[in-house]
């Protein structure tokens, strides 16, 4: 987590956001089941490419099961990220887990892999794509703060607790500024720069996000950024997100 703006690294920023609206994520889950996109109606079919789906902060691959199954139904080979519980140094998760998943998916299909990441998972996807452009075809981020970590104060407090646990667990095995915008690891360096031109980008965000400031979840380019209504948590169950993802993957 963390990034660089105008050449200056920034630490986490607490932003007052309508976090109560995240309770509406359950409605998005219900609406998904009756949407045409969920059943593959009116959207382009996949070509058998591999898609690795990466969970957000404090999440695991489990809550992305519905999303992965949908990708398979429309014609893609979806993969668990293999990162486990996303409460660890992102640099270590990418180096020792996510990169291995990408390599396996690439070898199994013989072509570049698509990465889809929710929240922090999308920031990790961008970093991995920057480090492995020869293996990654595209990156789709869902409410991912890749332009700076501006989040609700309660989430910021959780991030600080996770940072403390990381330092206790790894000691000198991680940099002193691990899990802050001041870190100088490969993860931060990767997201601070632009993605290689060979990697297609899509940034999906919602202005009613109650967890992350939507302004740091977009590139500023109309051809890349896609706004949808809904919640931060519900982005992985949002039928409008499914429609955008299907069309962007099929490009």
pLDDT at 74 over 90: yes
- How many whole angstroms separate alpha carbon 90 and alpha carbon 100? 14
DSSP 54-89: E--TT--GGGGHHHHHHHHHTT-EEEE----SS-S-
pLDDT for residue 10? 53
Backbone angles phi, psi at 214, to 5 degrees: -60, -25
Q: How far apart are CA 211 and CA 13, in angstroms?
A: 12
What does DSSP say about strands 8-10 and 225-227: parallel, antiparallel, or unpaired?
Answer: unpaired
Q: How far apart are CA 138 and CA 106, in angstroms?
A: 13
If you average pLDDT over every residue of the chain, what do you get?
93
| Radius of gyration of the chain measured on its C-alpha atoms | 17
Amino acid 9: pLDDT: 40
231-234, long-range: CB < 8 A, 24+ apart: 231/21, 231/22, 231/24, 231/25, 231/28, 231/206, 232/22, 232/119, 232/143, 232/206, 233/22, 233/25, 234/22, 234/24, 234/25, 234/27, 234/28, 234/29
Residue where the block lists tokens 């660089």:
4
Rounded to 5 degrees, φ, ψ at 56 are -90, -175
Specify the pLDDT at position 1: 42
Lowest mean pLDDT among 42-56, 60-74, 188-202: 188-202
Q: State the pLDDT at residue 49.
A: 98
> Using CA atoms, how far apart are residues 139 and 123, in angstroms rounded to an integer?
10
* DSSP-derived 3-state class of residue 142: strand
Average pLDDT over residues 163-191: 89
Tell me: the pLDDT tens digits for 107-128? 999 999 999 999 999 999 999 9
**Phi, psi at 106, each rounded to 5°:** -65, -45
């Amino acid at each position: 987590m963390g990034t660089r703006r105008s050449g200056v690294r920034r630490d986490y920023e607490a932003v007052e956001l309508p976090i109560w609206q995240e309770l509406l994520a359950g409605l998005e889950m219900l609406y998904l089941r009756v949407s045409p996109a969920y059943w593959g109606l009116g959207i382009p079919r996949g070509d058998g490419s591999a898609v690795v789906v990466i969970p957000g902060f404090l999440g695991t691959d489990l809550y992305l099961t519905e999303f992965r199954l949908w990708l398979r139904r429309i014609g893609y080979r979806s993969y668990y990220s293999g990162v486990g519980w996303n409460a660890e140094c992102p640099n270590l998760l990418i180096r020792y887990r996510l990169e291995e998943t990408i390599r396996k998916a690439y070898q199994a299909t013989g072509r570049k892999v698509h990465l889809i990441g929710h929240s922090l998972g999308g920031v990790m996807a961008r970093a991995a794509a920057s480090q492995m452009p020869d293996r990654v075809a595209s990156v789709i981020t869902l409410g991912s703060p890749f332009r700076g970590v501006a989040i609700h104060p309660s989430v910021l407090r959780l991030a600080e607790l996770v940072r403390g646990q990381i330092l206790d667990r790894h000691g000198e095995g991680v940099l002193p500024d691990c899990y802050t915008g001041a870190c100088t690891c490969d993860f931060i360096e990767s997201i601070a720069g632009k993605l290689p031109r060979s990697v297609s980008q899509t940034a999906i965000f919602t202005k009613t996000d109650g967890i992350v400031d939507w302004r740091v979840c977009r590139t500023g380019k109309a051809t890349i950024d896609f706004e949808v209504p809904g919640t931060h948590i519900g982005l992985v169950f949002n039928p409008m997100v499914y429609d955008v993802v299907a069309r962007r993957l099929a490009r």
